[in-house]
Chain A
Amino acid sequence: MRHSLLVRITHWITALSVAGLLVSGVAILIAHPRLYWGETGSFETTSLIDLPLTLTYGHSGWGRYLHFLSAWISVLTGLVYVMSGFINGHFHRHLLPSRADFALPATGSPLSYNGLQRLTYLGVVFILFPVIVATGLAMSPAITSVLPWLAIAFGGHQSARTIHFIAASLITLFVLVHVTMVTLAGFGARVAAMITGGREAVEEHA
């Protein structure tokens, strides 16, 4: 399977902006590493999760600036990727699994994704990303002045923050597994394929 130019460009912009989001997200989180459920929460109330992170002030200024810049880049790139993926059939051809993709022992080409990989990619694109964007917006007092149901749907301001953290953790887990699998499959060749597009599958079989 050859990666299209659009997939390659959006992949690397997304990789960079997600790196920016994770670094800045941690910078924001360590100013208050406690998570709550409901609308409100503070050091004076009971928490849902106390993260084993040292409380550190002084990083959320640049952290927030980088977080929202990266978020804009990530969201705009994601929109281009998703819209073009529907138009050119990328999701249908490369990511929508068929029963054969789950067959054991694997019968499909090792150069195409198996069923679990396909479901994971679709889950990240169509569940995790929308959830993390929506919970991010649900924490904005200006956005919820226009869309109050956004905060209510997630169970409140603090619940949205907690779900935002869980979704970020799952995306981090995805990135770790993704990079591990790329490394096992041959880091140099896989990264090169995502830069140049890679050779046609037919040629690789030859």
Chain B
Amino acid sequence: MRTGITRRKLITRAVTAAAGVSGVGVAISIADRFGLIPPDHYGPFGVGETLTYATQRVLTSGHSLAREFDRSQISPVAAVNGEAPSKESYQRELESGFSGWRLAIDGLVARPTSLSLADLKDLPGHSQITMQACEEGWSFIAEWTGATLSSVLDLVGPAPHARYVFFFAYDDWFESIDMADALHPQTLIAYGMNGQDLPTNHGAPARLKLPRQLGYKNLKYLSRITVTDTVANVGEGLGGGGPEAGYAWYAGI
């Protein structure tokens, strides 16, 4: 009798546990389909990062807009990290006023192309007064002018299964963002700052402006944009130079 009950309990528990484990599995695959699992979901910190990313993706799913500021709040000094790339290919473009600069757009797109600075300025875009907050703790407000990334993507036609947009820079740094941020109305390929051309150390001739994420995701000195369905085949497969240096892939914090 007793062993019978125990066995029944054991079976019930085993079935419950199996259902629980497969339930978690199903939940993970559903979450992944809706784009709620970040590339850095593994490792000791993966649970926290996944909770943050999934929660913020759900909360911001209505294309919520980063705070915009009044012209009077623009910082008199725009702080900056790092210096312009010293490599010859960049210095040559800088000296020629970026007249020969091209922004290549390729990957999972119907019509790969490359844009000159003039092409970029002809695309639909806008100016926005938003904050740049560095993960170190400092911040400044500036007016950024650029083409929306969505208009750049419209031009090339991303494949329906595209999931990430990679950005490559002249200083060999790279980052990637998901389609939710790529198609966000405030995500700019910015070529102007505070009414002038983008200053050299702020990423001339064009940088990514992603006001819903911290500064380090806002890649400077752009040279190429690549649309992919995975982060696996670029660099170390972590989705960017930030993640390779130990920083979170998603920086909406």
Contacts and interface: CB of A to CB of B under 8 A. Distances in A.
B79 A151 contact: no
B34 interface: no
Contact of A42 (B56, B64, B66, B139): B139
Interface in A45-93: 45, 57, 60-62, 64-66, 68-73
Interface in B163-211: 211
Interface of B: 44-45, 47-49, 51-52, 56, 59-60, 64-67, 69, 73, 75, 77, 79, 131, 133-141, 211-214, 245-248, 252-253
A43 B49 CA distance: 30
Contacts of A45: 75, 77
A193 interface: no
B133 A141 contact: yes
A157 B51 contact: no
A141 B252 contact: yes
Interface stretch (A26-34, A117-125, A182-190): A26-34
A140 B252 contact: yes
Given A39-B131, A141-B212, A69 B48 contact: yes
A43 B51 CA distance: 33
B172 to A, nearest CB: 19
Nearest to A142: B252
A44 B245 CA distance: 26
Nearest to B43: A65
A61 B247 contact: yes
A36 to B, nearest CB: 8
Dominant secondary structure of chain B at its interface with chain A? loop
B47 A69 contact: yes
B136 A31 contact: yes
B139 A142 contact: no
* Interface size, A (range): 35 or more
Given A62-B246, A141-B212, A31 B141 contact: no
A158 interface: yes
Contacts of B211: 141
A32 B52 contact: no
A44 B138 CA distance: 10
A42 B67 contact: no
Interface of A: 28-29, 31-32, 34, 39-45, 57, 60-62, 64-66, 68-73, 139-146, 148, 151, 157-158, 161
A71 B212 CA distance: 20
B69 A39 contact: yes
A28 B52 CA distance: 18
29 contacts: A32-B138, A39-B139, A40-B131, A41-B139, A43-B138, A60-B136, A60-B247, A62-B246, A65-B48, A65-B49, A65-B246, A66-B45, A68-B48, A68-B248, A72-B48, A139-B133, A139-B253, A140-B56, A140-B252, A140-B253, A141-B131, A141-B133, A141-B214, A142-B60, A143-B59, A143-B252, A144-B67, A146-B60, A148-B67
Contacts of B67: 141, 144-145, 148, 151
A67 B49 CA distance: 10
B137 A32 contact: yes
Closest 6 CB pairs of A and B: A69-B48, A142-B252, A61-B246, A32-B137, A42-B79, A65-B45
Given A28-B137, A32-B137, A145-B65, A44 B79 contact: yes
A65 B134 CA distance: 16
Given A41-B139, A68-B48, A146 B214 contact: no
Nearest to A35: B137
Contacts of B56: 140, 142-143
Specify which of A34, A146, A157 lies most central, judged by the most chain B CB atoms within 10 Å of its CB. A146
A44 B77 contact: yes
